[in-house]
Copies of this chain bind each other. A is one copy, B any other.
């Protein structure tokens, strides 16, 4: 049993988005990314089994998908997709996201 405090990783950086590995096990990997307004987590995908969830903790922006898809993303919104599907995020304000990958690849 382990407790993670998201308040402890509330760090932003002008030179690029910040990445915090919060938990990693055979079951899932949990990460927190913090993006300043204008920063982008580029669209990517991995040839792996499993799914990923991207939960917006704070701020607003756009979920990014294949073929230049953009879907509004605000606090309380969660994108769920296959790890193999293109996904990314663009911050319009300072933005924190929680990413869960299951199983880790």
Contact = CB atoms under 8 A, between A and B. Distances in A.
A71 to B, nearest CB: 6
A11 interface: no
Copies of this chain, how many? 2
A95 B51 CA distance: 27
A103 B100 contact: no
Contact of A3 (B50, B51, B79, B100): B79
Q: Is the interface of A mostly helix, strand, loop or mixed?
A: strand
Contact of A1 (B22, B85, B103): B85
Interface of A: 1-7, 22-23, 25, 27-28, 30, 49-51, 53, 55, 57, 63, 65, 71, 76-81, 85, 87, 98, 100, 102-103
